[in-house]
A and B are shown apart, each in its own frame.
Chain A
Amino acid sequence: MSLAEPEISTQQEASAVAVETPLRRFLSDYFESPIATAALAVLFLLVCLAVLAPVISPQNPYDLAEVDVLDSRLPPGSEGMTGYTFWLGTDGAGRDLLSAMLYGLRISLAVGVMSGLIATVLGSLVGLTAAYVGGRVETLIMRIVDMQLSFPAILIALMLIAVLGKGVDKIVIALVTVQWAYYARTVRGTAIIERRKEYVEAARCLGLTHTRILLKHILPNCLPPLIVVATVQAAHAIALEATLSFLGVGLPQTEPSLGLLISNGFEYMLSGKYWISFFPGLLLLATILAINLVGDRLRDVLNPRLTR
C-alpha cells in the first residue's frame, strides 16, 4: 500500500519460501545420515514384501493342498517332491520357509502398526486432555499412567491374553493396553508446555472451541516427539508380539507370525536344523533394527535442542 519497505522484504521472502519448506528441510536433514537412509530403505523394502506377500511368495503356506508333509524339515536350497526348490528350506509341516516368513512378516508388521496407531490416537487424546484440563483430572490420569508404566509390559500382556484368549484382535488389545501410557505421557509433556504459549491464548481470543484449540492448534505442535515415540513403540510392539507368540500365547497356529515361526523351529535347533528358527529370527531382527534406527534418526532431526 503506502509503504515501500514491506515490498522489498516480500520478494526476498518469496524466494526463500520456494527453496525451504519445513518438510524439505526435514528430509534433507534426515538423509544426511547414511545409516538412517539405509534403515529407511530396508524398512521400505520390508513393508513392500509384507504388503505384496500373497503375490510374490512362491507358495501359500496356509493352503494345505500346496503343502506336502513329506517335504518337512528340508535344508535350504533342497528340492522338494514336486521339483520345486526351497531356497530357505522348509519347516516341520513341510511349508516353504521363505513363503511362511513373508506371511509372518505381514502379520507381525500389521499387528505392530495397528496397535501402534490405536495406542497413538488413544494415548494422545488422554495426554492432551490431561494437559489442557489440568487440576485433579490431570493428576488422576497421570497417576494411572505411572501405575501402568511401573508394571513390566510382558506381564500385563500375559495377564490380558490369559483373560481374553488368543487371536489377532486380542493381541492388538493387549499391545494397546500396554502402550497407550507411553503416548499419553509424551503428549502430555509437550502439550503442557504448548498450552501456556501465547498462540493458545490468541486462539481463545478468536472464540475457538476447546476441542478445536486442542486438536488443531496444540496437537500439531506436539507431533514431533509423538512421531518418535510412535516409531520406537511400533518396534516394541512387534518385539512383544513375537515374544508372546514364542511363548505360545500370542497368535494362533493358523496365522503364524515371525515369533511363532521361531518358536516352531526351536525344538529342531539342537538337532542341527537351524534354519527353521534362524531365518525368521534374522528377519525379525532386521525389522526391529530398521525401525529403531529410523526412530533414532527422527528423534535427532526433530529435536530442536540437539543442534548439529
Chain B
Amino acid sequence: MSGREALSPTLEVADLRTHFFTKAGIVRAVDGVSFEVRAGEVLGLVGESGCGKTVTGFSILGLVDPPGRVVSGSIRLKGQELNGLDEAALRKVRGNRIAMIFQDPMMTLNPVLKIGTQIMEAVRAHRHVTRAAVRELACNALARVGIAAPEKRLEAYPHELSGGMRQRVAIAIAFINKPDLIIADEPTTALDVTIQAQILYEAQKLCRETGTAMIWITHDLAVVSALADRIAVMYAGRIVEQGATSDIITRPLHPYTQGLLGSVPSANRRGARLAQIPGLPPSLLAPPPGCSFQPRCPKAVAECELAAPPVTEPMVGRQVRCFRPLVAEPAAS
C-alpha cells in the first residue's frame, strides 16, 4: 500500500472464515474477509441483512456460538493473534481491549441492574480499582457522552432512560476501559433520525479524541458516508469492495456498490425513480457458482459464472473483487 504503512494498523483481519455447521449443511457466513483498521479511524462495514457483517464482529471477539466457529484466518490486534486464544485470554480482551456496542439499547442493558452497577461492572471485570474511583470513572464516562447529571443517572434503572440515553450509556460502557477497538453493530438503527445524528457525532468525536479504532457495522450507506474514513462493502460473506469513503461514494468499482448507492435517495435525483438491485441475496448454504453477485449483476459475463473473481487493486488503497470493475465514473450519473 502507500506511505501509511509506517503506521501499523490496530486490527488486521486476514482471510477470516467463519462457518456454521448446521444440519442442512455448511453456512459460509464469513468466507475470506480481510481488512484493517487504524487507530482513530472509523471503518464502515456495509451490507444487506445476512451478509455476514455481525458474524464478522463476533468472530473478532471470539464469541461465535456453536454450531458456528472460526474455521481459518488471522485476527491480529496490535500484532497479537486473537484467533486460537483460549477463553480466559479472550475474556481479558473483551470489554477491555475490544468493546462492542449493540443495535438495540433497549435490550443490551440489563433491566434489573442500575446503570451505575452496569458501568462499574465493566471496569471491575478488568481492573482492580476502589469503589470510589470506579464511581468517579463511571461519572466521567457518562458526562463524556453528553449525559447531564451523571451522578443521578448512576442510580437510575434502564427503563427510566430514553432510547438515545441508553445508547449513550452503552457507548460510555464501551469507551470506559479505553479499548483499542470498538465494534459498533448498527448502534443507531433503533434510534430516530435526530438522535442518530447526535450519537454518530459523539461516537466519531470520541474515536478521534481517544485514538480508538472503530468498526461501524451498518446497512445504511448514508450513515457511514457521513461517519467513516473508509468503507468495506460486504456481500454474501465476502468483502467485494474496499476503499476511502469519498472514493467509494463517488466512484464505485463494484456493480453491487453502485447498486447500493443507486438505491439511496439523493437530492440531485429528486423525483426520479429509485434504482433497486433485482433479486435477493443468495443463500449462504448454497451460494451460486463463481461470483456470488453474478445472478443479480447487470454487468455479468460468462466468466463470472465459472470462478469467483480474485481481489484486485486497481488503484492505490482500493480493493475490488470483480472481473469487470466499473471504470471510474461518477456514481450518480
Contact = CB atoms under 8 A, between A and B. Distances in A.
Contacts of B108: 198-199, 201-202
A16 B165 CA distance: 15
Contact of B99 (A2, A17, A205): A205
Contacts of B161: 13
Interface in A165-208: 197-199, 201-208
A61 to B, nearest CB: 46
B94 A9 contact: no
A307 interface: no
B91 interface: yes
B94 A205 contact: yes
Interface string B20-62: 0000000000000000000000000000000000000000010
Contacts of A217: 110, 113
Contacts of A216: 113, 121
Contacts of A6: 146-148, 164-165, 168
B156 A197 contact: no
A198 B155 CA distance: 22
A286 B327 CA distance: 87
Contact of A220 (B107, B113, B156): B113
B256 interface: no
Nearest to B126: A207
B58 to A, nearest CB: 9
B198 A3 contact: yes
A13 B155 CA distance: 12
Contact of B63 (A9, A199, A204, A212): A204
Contacts of B263: none
Contacts of A208: 91, 95, 121, 125
A202 B100 contact: yes
A225 to B, nearest CB: 13
B214 interface: no
Contacts of B162: 9, 13
Nearest to B161: A13
Contact of A207 (B92, B112, B160): B92
Contacts of A2: 146
Chain B interface residue bracket vs A: 35 or more
Nearest to B150: A10
Contacts of B155: 17
A21 to B, nearest CB: 8
A37 interface: no
A223 B113 CA distance: 13
A135 to B, nearest CB: 9
B146 A198 contact: no
B266 to A, nearest CB: 28
A221 B111 CA distance: 8
A205 B100 contact: yes
Nearest to A220: B112
B157 interface: yes
Interface in B104-132: 104, 107-113, 121-122, 125-126
Nearest to B93: A207
Contacts of B96: 207
A81 interface: no
Nearest to B94: A207
Contacts of B173: 206
A17 B160 contact: yes
Interface in A16-36: 16-17, 22
A1 B146 contact: yes
B63 A209 contact: no
B152 interface: yes
A14 B165 CA distance: 13
A10 B148 contact: yes
Interface string A38-61: 000000000000000000000000
Interface string B142-156: 010011110010011
Contacts of A63: none
A298 to B, nearest CB: 17
A207 B148 contact: no
Nearest to A204: B63
A9 B195 CA distance: 13
B95 A206 contact: yes
A198 B104 contact: yes
Interface of A: 1-3, 5-7, 9-10, 13-14, 16-17, 22, 197-199, 201-209, 212, 216-217, 220-221, 223
Pick the 9 closest A-B CB pairs, nearest first.
Answer: A206-B95, A207-B94, A198-B107, A207-B95, A205-B100, A202-B108, A1-B146, A10-B148, A220-B112
29 contacts: A1-B146, A2-B146, A3-B146, A3-B198, A5-B194, A5-B198, A6-B147, A6-B164, A6-B165, A10-B147, A13-B156, A13-B162, A14-B152, A16-B160, A198-B107, A201-B102, A201-B108, A202-B102, A202-B109, A204-B63, A205-B61, A205-B95, A206-B95, A206-B125, A207-B95, A209-B91, A217-B110, A221-B110, A221-B112
Given A13-B162, A208-B91, A216-B121, 7 more contacts: A6-B147, A6-B168, A9-B165, A17-B152, A204-B94, A207-B93, A217-B113
